[in-house]
Chain A
Amino acid sequence: MDAKSMVLEQYSARVYKNRKEHILTLDGSGEIPVIAANARSIPGIITERGCCYAGCKGVVVGPIKDVITITHGPIGCGFYSWGTRRNQAKATKEGEPVFIQYMFSTDMQEPDIVFGGEKKLRQAIKEAVDIFHPKAIMICSTCPVGLIGDDVQAVANETEKLYGITCLAFSCEGYKGVSQSAGHHIANNGVMKHIIGTVDTPLENPFTVNILGEYNIGGDGFEQIRILNKCGIDVRTSFTGDASIDDLKSAHMANLNLVMCHRSINYIAEMMETKYGIPWLKVNFIGVDGTCQSLRDIGKYFGDQGLIDRIEAVIAEELAELAEERAYYRSKLSGKTAALYVGGSRSHHYQLLLKDFGVKTLLAGYEFAHRDDYEGRDVIPTIKEDADGKNIEHMTVEADPEKFRARLTPEQLEAVRKEVPLSDYAGMIPDMADGSVVVDDLNHYETEAFTRILKPDIFFTGIKDKYAIQKSGTLCRQLHSYDYSGPYAGFKGAMKFGHDVVMGLFTPCWGMINPPWKNRATIRAHVGGEN
């Protein structure tokens, strides 16, 4: 029996029927199989997924550094999303505000639920303006707000008029959609509608990009910007790690959008292409090979020989610097096996980094991906929308009559497309080996079972399952928060990652789990008649 069957056979018929569509064993036929994704988690199952609010406030809106993000709801949601995602941010200029260490909430009480919370929200905004004089306020709604019918959009509009500042409301109640993914979408819509394209700060360098879906966890974005700058490429803004609202407002001026986390930000990438004419490129700055490839793709897109030469020079310099270290980690890790279960793109990105160190991926899954993240964007037209998805607004945009600017001629575009996968993502599955397992919305029971059956040397996942896996004797490292390390992106990040994995696998206490008396008799017996 294969691993999938062994895991599934424990389920009741109803759960079996559901879960079997979310688990694949790649068979080597070359065909990309269909996987069920972006569907409801089954009640009662210990899913690792979060909610819509977590995707909107926690992932996309929260990292914007110089705005005040007020969680409108009872205290919990704001509290749990305070400083727990490790989005690094520093002031763009001295004296510029950074709110990233603060938590703001309306801390709704029972009367606010009964009589409505708009009054308290208005007062909270007034207090935020009086104390901090922010240039923008973001309002993120939690479950009860939608249920009691607070009109947060109206409060946002009022705020803009009253204080002359930018104010956005996100109706990202936790029950919407089936995972964080709905929250990403809602955040994307809001940022696209109200922020991008509102200020036309001109570029200083034609080779200017945005990095979409980079949240600067553990400083990943800083390392990417270091490398890009070294190549002569400017970054207008990241979405949204270390991002300032002013840079986001003029993001439409950039000449290329790089997409790191496809899942959480592909909506903005697509809409910016239609509305402003900026093509997007799926990049992967995780792993040495991925970083080199991404840089070369950017070079080909801009098609400037000087830039291409600089990129090659940077690659040569960086590779020379890390050669020795890379060989060492490879020698320690080669032949090891891994399982990965992360959010939207990391389960794909890190496979390539692991491969570079000689580590084979046995299982990979996404927490909140859609089919296109697994199977590639070609399947998008065939994805059937269910009721949960239909409740999330699908924005359509048109070319902006004033601000649309084609970056390349149709001929140039065609030429670039031959070499570079512009505005496309082929998904995770094509990069996975035959025999490996793909699981969508991997739950606690399946994590335990697959760990037992596949016996990976290391499991990369999140904090909730980390210690259960570790207690079963398998090293587990958090790939959401990097176990308080990082950056893991770019050249230096890849080495840091190698260091951390080696450290985890070879820490001496793995050899001390069983006490000596488990293997050696300690009872001294005397044969009768002795003495």
Chain B
Amino acid sequence: MLDLTPKEHVERTALRINSCKTCQPVGALYAALGVHKCLPYSHGSQGCVAYHRTFLTRHFKEPAMASTSSFTEGASVFGGGSNLKQGTKNAFDIYDPDIIAVHTTCLSETIGDDLNAFIQDLDIPEGKLVIHTNTPSYVGSHIDGYFNMMCGFIRYLAKNTGKKNGKTAIFPGWSNPGDLREFKRLAGLMGVSYTMFPDQSGVMDAPMSDHFEFYPDGGTTLPEIVGLGDCESVIGLGELTVTEPCEQLKKKCKVAYEVIPYPIGVENTDRFIMALAAAAGCEVPYAIEEERGQLIDLMLDAHIWFSGKSCAVFGDPDYVLGITALVLEMGMIPKYVLTGTPGSAFHQKVNALFEQYNVQDQCTAKEFGDLFDLHQWVKESPVDLLIGSSYGKQIARAEDIPFVRAGFPVLDRYGHPLFPITCYKGAMRLVEQIANALMDRVDRDVPDEEFDIIM
């Protein structure tokens, strides 16, 4: 496995090997799936949306419905205006969405299609909507696509009527349905009246029933999105994912926001709970304190198995920051921390964490990196554990390292999107998975005379 990866690091400026990010449109598509009765729509060649639907479906094991302008060579020369016109008409006719959320592709961006103008020219059925966002694949990563689509919805729909609606908006960042349900559960326990935007729970974890629903029950509703402009404030989860949409809403509707780190780990979750408490203006109920206490109890009980162990964490910036924080809280050393998404803010935030735990001399961080970098680092000096997306399994196998899957995409396991890795409950789950992975390794490797029933 990956036998051709040499140990010696050669500086690369052009060749991306084993990427740790993908392109904007898939993020835009995923964000739009979190809006009720919304049909995501890709303005480009049909291959783009085929890949994006495939990837989302492989991660969630759920249908990811989205349409496309199906560009041909002719459209690429003459512009995609007529494709969009015909495409949105057909999509409304056949799939009857309430709203079509268009995102662009590198194809339509390169030829310079003006979506603002195209959409103004559309003959949109009464009561229906078309919005768009620009998602050039050659800028940023799928994370940019995700927040750009959030901005698109806000730009087109959010409205400040001058009368506050008493709600707190929660912008959850790129999250699995299990995490979204956890945010909502905690907001509910805190008595916060909220709008979660976007919200893929109920859509990308729809139950098996006796029929298929093209638009399942979940998703932020259009009135809720319009109402974002009247919210009291926004709690944004994930500084590198939702700051832009928070800014956008502030600019358009003057809604104040607080962006906090993505709530993976104890301290990050504490900040989320404190933000909810501030929004609700009430005390934190014992039920939440109990969960927190259980998490700390678990971390203390099991610390003997992970304390001082080194790990590599890779994936999307806010996931990686959260997981890095958690493993530091567990007493582990996040020796290599890497994201594929460009942006120097990542570096600064990881370094701040390293310094907080005084491990800066033992740890390395990189943004805009790839898994070839990570593999070479690991070859140079190994780690005890890998945490990240499914693509880490190649390195895990090549170097025989225990591996915990977390983040996006996880293409080779089932059920994971149903369960949180965020907040106290999710941290308990991650701590258990990390401990199990390390303990299974001990059980596998020790000689018979050292093999323990009690651990």
The 6 A-B residue pairs with the shortest CB-CB distance, nearest first, are A51-B47, A76-B23, A44-B90, A44-B87, A43-B87, A123-B14
| 14 A-B contacts (beta carbon < 8 Å) | A44-B41, A74-B23, A76-B22, A101-B2, A102-B18, A103-B17, A124-B14, A144-B110, A176-B73, A468-B65, A471-B209, A473-B210, A513-B208, A513-B210
Complex Cα spacing A103 to B74, Å: 31
- Decide: A76 near B48, CB < 8 A? Known: A42-B86, A147-B110: yes
* Stretch of A7-15, A240-248, A318-326, A424-432 lying at the B interface: A7-15
A-B contact count (CB 8 A): 257
Q: Which of A41, A51, A178 is the one whose CB lies under 8 Å from B48?
A: A51
Query: Which residues of B in the span 61-110 have a Cβ within 8 Å of any Cβ on A?
Result: 61-76, 83-84, 86-91, 93-95, 105-107, 110
The answer to whether B54 has its CB under 8 Å from any CB of chain A is yes
Residues on B with C-beta less than 8 A from A391 are 73
Complex Cα spacing A146 to B137, Å: 15
Chain B: interface size category: 35 or more
The answer to whether A466 has its CB under 8 Å from any CB of chain B is yes
* Stretch of A126-134, A297-305, A336-344 lying at the B interface: A126-134
Q: Which residues of B contact A (CB under 8 A)?
A: 1-4, 6, 10, 12-19, 21-23, 25-26, 41, 44-48, 50-55, 57-58, 61-76, 83-84, 86-91, 93-95, 105-107, 110-111, 136-139, 141, 206, 208-214, 391, 394, 411
The answer to whether A54 has its CB under 8 Å from any CB of chain B is yes
Complex Cα spacing A82 to B90, Å: 33
A471 x B63 contact (CB < 8 A): yes
A147 x B76 contact (CB < 8 A): yes
The answer to whether A232 has its CB under 8 Å from any CB of chain B is no
The answer to whether A84 has its CB under 8 Å from any CB of chain B is yes
Residues on A with C-beta less than 8 A from B57 are 463-464, 466-467
Q: Which of A109, A174, A470, A472 is the one whose CB lies under 8 Å from B45?
A: A174
Report the nearest B residue to A467, measured CB to CB: B63
- Decide: A52 near B63, CB < 8 A? Known: A124-B15, A147-B111: no
Shortest Cβ gap from A450 to chain B (Å): 13
The answer to whether A80 has its CB under 8 Å from any CB of chain B is yes
Q: Which of B21, B23, B67, B214 is the one whose CB lies under 8 Å from A45?
A: B67
Candidate in A43, A45, A128, A131 with the most chain B CB atoms within 10 angstroms: A43
Query: Which residues of A in the span 41-58 have a Cβ within 8 Å of any Cβ on B?
Result: 41-54
Residues on B with C-beta less than 8 A from A144 are 106-107, 110, 138
Report the nearest B residue to A49, measured CB to CB: B46
Total chain A interface residues with beta-carbon distance under 8 A: 90
B22 x A75 contact (CB < 8 A): yes
The answer to whether A99 has its CB under 8 Å from any CB of chain B is yes
Complex Cα spacing A154 to B53, Å: 35
The answer to whether A270 has its CB under 8 Å from any CB of chain B is no
Report the nearest B residue to A123, measured CB to CB: B14
Shortest Cβ gap from B97 to chain A (Å): 11
Residues on B with C-beta less than 8 A from A12 are 89-90, 93
Shortest Cβ gap from A75 to chain B (Å): 5
- Decide: A468 near B45, CB < 8 A? Known: A143-B76, A388-B73: no
Shortest Cβ gap from A259 to chain B (Å): 25
- Decide: A472 near B105, CB < 8 A? Known: A11-B94, A43-B70, A43-B87: no
The answer to whether A530 has its CB under 8 Å from any CB of chain B is no
Known: A44-B91, A44-B94. 5 other contacts (CB 8 A): A51-B47, A52-B45, A79-B23, A105-B19, A175-B76
Q: Which of A40, A75, A120 is the one whose CB lies under 8 Å from B14?
A: A120
A109 x B105 contact (CB < 8 A): no
Report the nearest B residue to A474, measured CB to CB: B212
Query: Which residues of A in the span 27-79 have a Cβ within 8 Å of any Cβ on B?
Result: 40-54, 70, 73-79
Report the nearest B residue to A183, measured CB to CB: B47
A468 x B63 contact (CB < 8 A): yes
- Decide: A131 near B50, CB < 8 A? Known: A144-B107, A445-B94: no
A80 x B22 contact (CB < 8 A): yes
Residues on B with C-beta less than 8 A from A174 are 44-45, 47-48, 107
Q: Which of B25, B62, B211, B214 is the one whose CB lies under 8 Å from A76?
A: B25
Report the nearest A residue to B213, measured CB to CB: A471
Contact flags (1/0) for A80-118 with B, using CB distance below 8 Å?
A: 111110000000000001110111111111101100000
A113 x B90 contact (CB < 8 A): no
Residues on A with C-beta less than 8 A from B16 are 75, 78, 103-107, 124
Q: Which of A43, A75, A147 is the one whose CB lies under 8 Å from B137?
A: A75
Shortest Cβ gap from A403 to chain B (Å): 33
Residues on B with C-beta less than 8 A from A224 are none
